[in-house]
C-alpha cells in the first residue's frame, strides 16, 4: 500500500485567499520556557495557530454556503474517508472554464478530483491570478453523476467574477462536498485509489484545512 500526499503545508505568514489574514503559527510556551514548570527535568512545546479556515488545502461543508446546511461536525466519516477516487483531466479553455468528459455512472459515489496542473504555481504570485473554474456544463455533469466529493487543484472551484458562485451553490445544495487547493494529482492513477480529506469535528464549522491524501494498492 502506498500513500500520496495531496495537501499543501501550512506555514506561518503564508499567502492565503486574497483578502484574508495569513496564518500565525507560534507557541503559547516553547521548550525552553516550559522547563521551570518541570523542575528542569522535562520540556514541552505548547503551540498556537490563528488562521482563516480557508487556508491551504481545505474542505467546504454545506454550511459554508447554506445557513441550514450540514456543518463539519455533521459530515459522516464515509463522506471524507476511504472514498473510491477518480482523477479527471480538466481542459482549461481560453476563458478559464474547465471542461470535463466522463462516464456519469463511473463518478457516482466517488471522490472526483479535477486536475489542471494549476498547483504547480503554488508558492508564487501567479497562483493567485484568476484561475480555472468548473464550467456550467461540467457542473451539470457532476450534478447528474452524484459524486460524494469534488476536489480541485486550483484555488476556487467557481469563477471569482461570478457573485452567484453557482458551483458552490449547486454542489453544496446536494451535499456534495468540495475540497480546494489540492496538489500532486499527477501522481495518482485515473482510478483505483482511495481518497481521504478528514476535517476536525467542529460544531458550526463551515470550512477547514484537511490533510488530504490517497491510498493506492500495491
Q: Cell digits for 127?
A: 497562483
17, 21, 26, 28: CA torsion to nearest 10: -130
Cβ contact 100:90 at 8 Å: yes
- Per the structure, the count of domains in the chain is 1
Residue 14 resides in a domain: no
215, 188, 90, 153: CA torsion to nearest 10: 60
Assess whether pLDDT exceeds 90 at residue 218.
Answer: no
Range of the domain at 145: 52-216
Assess whether pLDDT exceeds 90 at residue 53.
Answer: yes
Residue 8 resides in a domain: no
Residue 7 resides in a domain: no
The percentage of residues in the chain with a pLDDT greater than 70, rounded to a whole number, is 100
Residue 152 resides in a domain: yes
Q: What is the CATH number of the domain that holds 179?
A: 3.50.30.50
| pLDDT band of 18, cuts 50, 70, 90 | confident
Q: State residue 69's pLDDT score.
A: 98
Residue 19 resides in a domain: no
Q: What is the pLDDT of residues 90-130, one digit of tens each?
A: 999 989 999 999 999 999 999 999 999 999 999 999 999 99
Residue 92 resides in a domain: yes
Residue 3 resides in a domain: no
Residue 142 resides in a domain: yes
Q: What is the pLDDT of residues 61-76, one digit of tens each?
A: 999 999 999 999 999 9
Average pLDDT, the chain: 97
Amino acid at each position: 500500500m502506498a500513500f500520496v500526499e495531496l495537501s499543501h503545508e501550512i506555514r506561518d505568514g503564508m499567502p492565503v485567499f486574497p483578502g484574508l489574514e495569513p496564518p500565525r503559527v507560534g507557541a503559547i510556551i516553547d521548550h525552553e520556557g516550559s522547563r521551570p514548570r518541570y523542575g528542569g527535568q522535562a520540556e514541552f512545546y505548547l503551540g498556537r495557530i490563528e488562521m482563516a479556515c480557508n487556508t491551504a488545502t481545505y474542505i467546504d461543508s454545506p454550511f459554508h454556503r447554506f445557513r441550514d446546511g450540514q456543518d463539519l461536525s455533521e459530515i459522516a466519516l464515509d463522506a471524507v474517508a476511504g472514498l473510491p477516487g477518480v482523477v479527471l483531466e480538466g481542459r482549461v479553455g481560453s476563458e478559464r472554464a474547465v471542461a470535463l468528459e466522463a462516464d456519469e455512472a463511473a463518478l457516482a459515489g466517488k471522490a472526483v478530483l479535477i486536475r489542471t496542473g494549476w498547483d504547480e504555481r503554488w508558492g508564487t504570485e501567479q497562483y493567485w491570478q484568476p484561475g480555472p473554474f468548473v464550467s456550467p456544463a461540467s457542473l451539470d455533469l457532476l450534478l447528474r453523476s452524484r459524486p460524494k466529493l469534488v476536489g480541485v487543484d486550483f484555488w476556487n472551484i467557481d469563477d471569482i467574477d461570478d457573485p452567484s458562485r453557482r458551483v458552490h451553490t449547486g454542489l453544496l445544495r446536494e451535499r456534495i462536498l468540495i475540497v480546494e487547493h489540492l496538489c500532486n494529482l499527477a501522481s495518482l492513477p485515473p482510478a483505483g485509489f482511495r481518497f481521504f480529506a478528514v476535517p476536525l469535528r467542529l460544531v458550526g464549522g463551515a470550512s477547514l484545512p484537511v490533510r488530504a491524501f490517497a491510498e493506492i494498492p500495491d
